[in-house]
Chain A
Amino acid sequence: MKIRRPPAAVKMAALFVFLALAAFLPWQGLAALGALQVGAALLVQPAALGPLRKVRFWLLILLPVVFAALLLGGGSASWQGLRLNAGGTALGLRMALRAFCLVMAFQIALADASTSDMIRLFTHLNLRGLGFALGVAANMLSTLRATSEVVFHTLLLRGGWRRNPLRDLKLYTLGVLAGTLRHGDGIVQAASMRGFDPGPGAKAAKPRGLPPARSDAGDRP
């Protein structure tokens, strides 16, 4: 059974609740919270379980258990010739559970969130400017790639990157930055022409002074 994906606001609220719980719960509580998070992820956000398939994640989680069991205390038990300490193992388990809960909290909140989800959330929170800036940033990534390729090849065709790579790196940086800022000018003009207001209380701007769209507009010669 898979429940419909919750909105970004609910996931953000869940993130803060999970973070607060992970900070203060004792180890039994952390174990319950971890199980709850895995259950919630299975139901609403299977993508959040992605890191559980990675060796690096389990290294991060289990290393403190090993270190604490081996290093702390005098060694109250023995396993395969290694002296283990019960107090250290308990402390290590608590650390591992806390790390697990924190990582899962972020995974559940952000694992399959999209840019449009976040923009919607910011607009909902009356932070239209921030949502607008995130949209600008997400959309400029492809422009940035094109600009950096053009600047790189321009420098290469002019004999750059051979004699004075440091100077060319500076020129490259300036070229990419200038291209990016020019792109920004275009966005500012477009947003201003549409009457966009990023102020906190602003509603979405509607075009004024234009006649209503006609359904037969496309039929005209």
Chain B
Amino acid sequence: MKEAFSVRDWVYIGLFGGLWGALELTLGSFLHLIFPPLADTFWVGIIMASAASVVALMSRFFAPHRGSILLVALIASLLKALSLGGVVIGPIGAIMAEALLLEAGLLVSSQPRRGAFSLAGALAVSWNFFHRFAMMRLLYGKGFSEVGKKMIDDGGRLLGLEVSLALWLLGLLLLFRLLAGALAGILAWELGGPLRRRLSRRHED
């Protein structure tokens, strides 16, 4: 795991970064068209984060170095930034945060394992839950926390919602994301392993 990156590793990083970038440019734009970003953050986030987790985790089979997913994400975010749509800070922040969480999840095991993949996927997709708050906090500074708290208080009072019920709902939404992420991790394991073995056989032939 500590060897330097070879030409093959860099090519795979480029390929998987390109795949992730292509997903962001095509599927991401398409989903944002169907669900306007201000109206829906749930489905777009879950679909995009799950698909990205599958691609990024599969790259670990082909470039088996710590930090390789971060490099894949860097390539994907550069492609997104250099695309025609212009610089979009939100998706770029999400790509890098998901990559960090994927790497953190894979730290639990020195060798690729299904459990580690599943945990990494769950962590990465759960970022979708915190993303909007984190990006708003980054963009607007600490004033956002003050305004956000006041909005939640006033909104809760207006709708007559109990705080505990709101917390339950938020917990449920987070759980749904964790499950989707875990499934994405398992899917990456199921797709990446056979593909890697098949490719190795071809190289031996």
Contacts and interface: CB of A to CB of B under 8 A. Distances in A.
Interface of A: 23, 50-51, 64, 67-68, 71-72, 91-92, 94-96, 98-99, 102-103, 106-107, 109-111, 113-115, 118, 129-130, 132-138, 140-141, 144, 170, 173-174, 177-178, 180-181, 183-184, 187-188, 191-192, 196-199
A198 B10 contact: yes
B141 A95 contact: yes
Interface string B114-144: 0000000000000000000000001111011
10 contacts: A67-B147, A68-B147, A94-B141, A95-B143, A95-B147, A106-B89, A134-B78, A136-B14, A137-B18, A170-B191
A137 B7 contact: no
A99 to B, nearest CB: 5
A64 B18 contact: no
Contact of B150 (A50, A71, A137, A197): A71
B140 A98 contact: yes
Contact of A188 (B7, B81, B195): B7
B141 A133 contact: no
Given A98-B141, A118-B78, A135-B14, A130 B71 contact: yes
A43 to B, nearest CB: 19
Interface of B: 4-8, 10-15, 17-19, 21-22, 58, 62, 71, 74-76, 78-79, 81-82, 86-87, 89, 138-141, 143-144, 146-147, 150-151, 154, 191, 195, 198-199
Q: Which of A106, A134, A135 has the most CB of B within 10 A?
A: A134
Contacts of B5: 129, 198
- Return the 4 tightest CB-CB contacts between A and B, nearest first: A136-B14, A137-B18, A133-B14, A95-B140
A122 B125 CA distance: 30
A106 B87 contact: yes
B63 to A, nearest CB: 10
A181 B62 contact: yes
Contact of A114 (B82, B89, B139): B82
Contact of B86 (A111, A138, A191): A111
A113 B199 contact: no
A180 B143 contact: no
Contact of B10 (A50, A64, A136): A136
A71 B76 CA distance: 39
Nearest to B141: A98
Given A72-B147, A111-B86, 4 more contacts: A72-B146, A135-B14, A141-B18, A198-B6
